[in-house]
Amino acid sequence: MTTPAPLSMVNALAIMLIAGSALAQIGIPARTPDDRGSKPAPESYKGLKHAIGCKDFHNESGWRGHWELGHNLTAMLESALRDTGRFVLVEREQLTDVLIEQNLAASGRAAASQVAQMGRIRPARYIATGSITEVSEGQSGIGGGVSVGGIRLGGTRTQAQLAVTVKLVDTTTGEIVAQQRVLGKAGRTGVNVGLSVGRVSTDLGGFIKTPLGEAAQDCVNQAAMFIARKLEEYPVEGSVVKTDDDGRVIINRGAEYGVTAGQELTMVRPGNLLIDPDTGAVLERAPGKVIGRLTVTRVTEKVAYCEVIAGEPKPEPGTAVQLKPAK
């Protein structure tokens, strides 16, 4: 004899069936635990990588709520940039001095002696940051809702969108080298549930599951793509660590940055900083002078061993080297 299912279980099954039907009618496909929040895996990238850091976004939208939007977007952007496979992410703790000097240079408050040192290679040449300019949340009626036992299924859908101005800053001058406005909308992209950023506040996990979090993820995905494409125009930079007595040159960029044997690098003497005489602010850096070329003969994780093939036979430690990413 079969024992009847408890009434509560029957009700629960009925609600699930009706909910599935209601969601299907309004065009929302049912999700499984395996595909919830999934997104296509990024293509494997094997080229050169830029060092980059992220600075907290400024919230200029006037929106206030439970979430720290600036901090959350920064953590999500770090993860999105890392997911592209095109960057070496520099921890924020390592950027403290860089950010202080960059802010001084941009504002014109740096003393002449400080500005003179601003051409040296940093932990990260570029900083990604931005401003949140618009936040909107609301609900739209979509009809077709079903009520079972006082529980409403369907009928409304939460909407959210986020507008952000993404900025790419050169830390050696404080110059904004690129910026773009992006608009993120909830439901337009899968939420990245695999955030790979350490020491993230626990409320980020809750944030990314909200409509506003989905809009933020859409923003940072677009921002990461914009930054990746923009930095294809700029060379990957490093420095000479030492030159051996036999002329072998060691540089501080290795396999971690996508450097491989056979690649050629340019040795460059940086140009002078152009400083506004009225404000003292750094305007930009004049083009540098090419002093020679290197070819990579051997690579380890952190460094590359090179031979001079033209120009300066024994470059001094700190000499800048550049390698143009392949398009």
**What pLDDT, on a 0 to 100 scale, did the predictor assign at position 159?**
82
**CATH (residue range 44-231):** 3.40.50
- Where residue 171 falls among pLDDT bands split at 50, 70, 90? confident
Q: Please name the residue that has the structure tokens 């952000």.
A: 164
Q: How many residues make up the chain in this entry?
A: 327
* pLDDT reading at 114 higher than 50: no
Expressed in angstroms, the distance from the first to the final Cα of the chain is 72
Class of domain 236-323: mainly beta
Q: Where are the domains of the chain?
A: 44-231, 236-323
Contacts of 91 (CB under 8 A, 6+ apart): 53
- Evaluated on CA atoms 15, 21, 27, 30, the torsion sign reads positive
**What pLDDT, on a 0 to 100 scale, did the predictor assign at position 31?**
36
* pLDDT reading at 275 higher than 90: no
Task: Between 198 and 62, name the one with better pLDDT.
Answer: 62
- Per DSSP bridges, beta strands 236-243 and 304-311 are unpaired
Beta-ladder partners of 133: none
- Nearest CA to 316 out of 235, 237, 249 is that of 249
Task: Between 312 and 21, name the one with better pLDDT.
Answer: 312
**What pLDDT, on a 0 to 100 scale, did the predictor assign at position 198?**
41
Per-residue pLDDT of 178-191, as tens digits, reads: 999 999 999 876 54
Burial per residue of 106-122, b for 16 or more beta-carbon CB atoms within 10 angstroms, e otherwise: beeebeeeebeebbebb
- Nearest CA to 49 out of 87, 85, 82, 91 is that of 87
Report percent pLDDT > 90 for the chain.
Answer: 43
9: left (phi over 0), alpha (psi -120 to 50) or beta: alpha
**What pLDDT, on a 0 to 100 scale, did the predictor assign at position 276?**
84
Task: Between 154 and 62, name the one with better pLDDT.
Answer: 62
C-alpha 225/C-alpha 317 separation (Å) is: 34
What is the three-class DSSP state of 94? helix
